[in-house]
Structure 1
Amino acid sequence: MAEDISYTTEEIAQILKVSKLTVYDLIKKGDLPSYRVGKQMRVDASDLEAYKQQTKKSARTFEPTGSYSETAKTSQPYTISGIRPIVITGQDISLDLLAKHMEKHIPSVRPLRSYVGSLDSLISMYKGESDIVSTHLLDGDTGEYNLPYIRRLLTGSSYMVVNLIKRRAGLYVERGNPHQLNGWEDLDRPGLRFVNREKGSGARVLLDEQLRLHRIQANQLIGYDLEESNHLGVAGKVAAGEADVGVGIEKAAAIVGNVDFIPLIQEQYDLVLLKKPENMEWISAVMNILCSTAFQNELRSISGYDLSLTGQVLYET
């Protein structure tokens, strides 16, 4: 019977043509009733239909261009009661501050955070699953950050690349640096216990590029396959004595404590924004936020950030 049909969050996302993050946001706000079966959230077909009908009414109220179905036909962005969800990917706290300012100053959007690595962020943008992606990917051959990867992955897209911050990256080592590790070339020392980041993260790409440039085989590193999903996890493993060295950013070492940081490179942490006609209004507002004194003062309060390029457009198609 139709009333017995229910859907998973993945199925709801496919039906509504939105990301799973948007579905979770609807459930969290109570707009879409749900219940749990084991580890899986489910939504009854009747509740989904009721939500769609309510959304159509809201679209007529907030969208002067027509009804929900007419909006879909013209490929306008999906909205929640007239408010468009904007997915921001990346793990740095600067992105959380950006989301906060967007929520405050751009009432037509609802920022949603997705905590994924740089390569996965760009892939999600290519697939149409994110709106603002952050990336810090080093091309070892040119020494250039981000643009070589962006150009390859977003071929045919119209986009702009804007600097958010610059920050120092390097090695986490045990307090006092007992192994006297001072550079990438020192990673080939036998017996060192390593802790890594997940594939697709900027730190993992940085490590792999440096290993390639210094002709160090990954299988020489004990623990190369031991992965953590963020900088704090890597720094924490070193601080706890479970590893001798890991790669990450300076700020995480200060937060974790009981670990030393060896700075080796100034990495560029950039934002990519797709230049679709329906995006231009909120992109303009985001640019204003990035260049605002209030936003930059909040960034300055966090140690380890270089704001010399913050808000500058580095590349535009």
Structure 2
Amino acid sequence: MSSDVSYTTEEIAKMLKISKLTVYDLIKKGELPSYRVGKQMRVDAADFEAYKQRAKGKQAAPLPVPQAVPATDRPHLSAVASGMRPIVVTGQDISLDILVKYMEKSISGIRPLRAYVGSLDSLISMYRGESDIVSTHLLDGDTGEYNLPYIRKLLVGSSYVVVNLLSRNAGLYVQKGNPFGLEAWSDLSRPGLRFMNREKGSGARVLLDEQLRLHGITPQQLTGYELEQTNHIGVAAKVASGEADVGVGIEKAAAIVGQVDFIPLIEERYDLVMLKTAENLPWIQSLLDILRSDGFRKELQAIAGYDLTRTGEILFET
């Protein structure tokens, strides 16, 4: 097998018929060596084959590493040798990619890994021990509170800290000129509107479902409620192309896609949750320092649609 062949985490998940989060868990535990290429994690074919042999109870012979190749040219080997601990960071916002970049530069002994999953799925993955830093923007319609009601229910018995990353506007994507004159959540009850939804477990899907419940609108009243996109940009693009009349998402995606108008209806709080374990405490304070640093804040300020008033503020701690 060629040493040049490598696989993405998605390809590994398909070949083993497991979830991508399970692949991240194998990487996190050090059972599956990996390395980063840009924003993507990759696993060498030889390391994948060795893992399969171990899983079958047949320990593969050690793979020779040419002495002429420096350890720095094989990032997964140097990371394992140096004892770097993988830290799984979940969520889809670009601010998390920037945060991971700062973590890589500023916090020694860790190797951040990105998992692009929705808010509710992120919290569930933390409950299962599959992630270390989760981002969430989940509205509780009865209290008007973001995130904490869900965190308290899912992480019962755990010690954790909730820190604000940023706030941002959420609302409706509509076609240019807003031909249907949509202005409020209640307008979603109008017959004939073609809707584009987000996947279950995403913060935008929870926001929609809570607003439908509060306004007495059933999902069956929304034509296209069952149609899903896996990110805000996907929803905005469907509206921009005319395939849908309306969708729910954040303001930034409308600016990226263009050819679509945005109706702001709520300011949502986008928070980070970290478990306070003996393993995590050494890097949690370093992460707080990054969030509060001028460099990190300036980089986020350059992105339209972010309110950084409370960035780095501890909102709740057990």
Q: Distance in 2 between matches of 1:249 and 1:293?
A: 25
Q: Distance in 2 between matches of 1:250 and 1:120?
A: 22
**Structure 1 residue 312 and structure 2 residue 313: aligned?**
yes
Equivalences for 1:221-236 in 2 at 5 Å?
221-236=222-237
Structure 1 match to 2:196: 195
Equivalences for 1:186-265 in 2 at 5 Å?
186-265=187-266
Contact kept, 8 Å, 1:192 with 1:221, in 2: the verdict is: yes
Residue identity in the other structure for 2:80: I
Structure 2 match to 1:154: 155
Q: Distance in 1 between matches of 2:18 and 2:255?
A: 41
Cα distance, 1:278 vs structure 2:
1.4
Structure 2 match to 1:83: 84
1:25 to 34, 53, 56: 34
Cα distance, 1:284 vs structure 2:
1.0
**Structure 1 residue 182 and structure 2 residue 191: aligned?**
no
Q: Distance in 2 between matches of 1:316 and 1:165?
A: 18
Q: Distance in 1 between matches of 2:233 and 2:178?
A: 18
Cα distance, 1:173 vs structure 2:
0.1
Q: Distance in 2 between matches of 1:274 and 1:259?
A: 39
Q: Distance in 2 between matches of 1:282 and 1:237?
A: 40
Residue identity in the other structure for 2:131: S
Cα distance, 1:20 vs structure 2:
4.4
Contact kept, 8 Å, 1:32 with 1:43, in 2: the verdict is: no
Contact kept, 8 Å, 1:87 with 1:130, in 2: the verdict is: yes
Structure 1 match to 2:74: none
**Structure 1 residue 34 and structure 2 residue 48: aligned?**
yes
Cα distance, 1:30 vs structure 2:
3.8
Q: Distance in 2 between matches of 1:260 and 1:43?
A: 50
Alignment deviations for residues 168-211 of structure 1 (CA, whole Å, 9 cap, x no partner): 00000000000000000000000000000000100000000000
Q: Distance in 1 between matches of 2:285 and 2:216?
A: 44
Alignment TM-score, normalising by the size of structure 1: 0.82
Q: Distance in 1 between matches of 2:173 and 2:251?
A: 8
Cα distance, 1:302 vs structure 2:
0.3
Contact kept, 8 Å, 2:24 with 2:88, in 1: the verdict is: no
Cα distance, 1:18 vs structure 2:
6.6
Structure 2 match to 1:75: none
Measured at CA, do residues 305 and 17 of structure 1 come closer, stay the same or move farther in structure 2, by a change above 3 Å? closer
Residue identity in the other structure for 2:236: A
Q: Distance in 2 between matches of 1:25 and 1:140?
A: 41
Cα distance, 1:107 vs structure 2:
2.3
Measured at CA, do residues 17 and 225 of structure 1 come closer, stay the same or move farther in structure 2, by a change above 3 Å? closer
Q: Distance in 2 between matches of 1:218 and 1:170?
A: 17
Q: Distance in 1 between matches of 2:300 and 2:59?
A: 42
Structure 1 match to 2:300: 299
Structure 2 match to 1:68: none
Q: Secondary structure at the match of 1:164?
A: strand
Matched length? 277
Q: Distance in 1 between matches of 2:209 and 2:48?
A: 43
Measured at CA, do residues 50 and 113 of structure 1 come closer, stay the same or move farther in structure 2, by a change above 3 Å? same
List runs of 5+ in structure 1 lacking aligned partners: 1-7, 36-40, 52-78
Contact kept, 8 Å, 1:86 with 1:112, in 2: the verdict is: yes
Alignment deviations for residues 243-288 of structure 1 (CA, whole Å, 9 cap, x no partner): 0000000000000000000000000000000000111111111011
Structure 1 match to 2:274: 273
Q: Distance in 2 between matches of 1:248 and 1:290?
A: 24
Q: Distance in 1 between matches of 2:184 and 2:156?
A: 35
Alignment TM-score, normalising by the size of structure 2: 0.81
Q: Distance in 2 between matches of 1:238 and 1:24?
A: 41
Cα distance, 1:21 vs structure 2:
5.2
Measured at CA, do residues 34 and 256 of structure 1 come closer, stay the same or move farther in structure 2, by a change above 3 Å? same
Q: Secondary structure at the match of 1:215?
A: coil
Q: Secondary structure at the match of 2:304?
A: coil
Equivalences for 1:51-66 in 2 at 5 Å?
none
Structure 2 match to 1:98: 99
Q: Distance in 2 between matches of 1:49 and 1:126?
A: 36
Alignment deviations for residues 89-140 of structure 1 (CA, whole Å, 9 cap, x no partner): 0000000000000011112110000000000000000000000000000000
Q: Distance in 1 between matches of 2:263 and 2:17?
A: 46
Q: Distance in 1 between matches of 2:60 and 2:156?
A: 36
Structure 2 match to 1:125: 126
Q: Distance in 2 between matches of 1:87 and 1:203?
A: 22
Q: Secondary structure at the match of 1:168?
A: strand
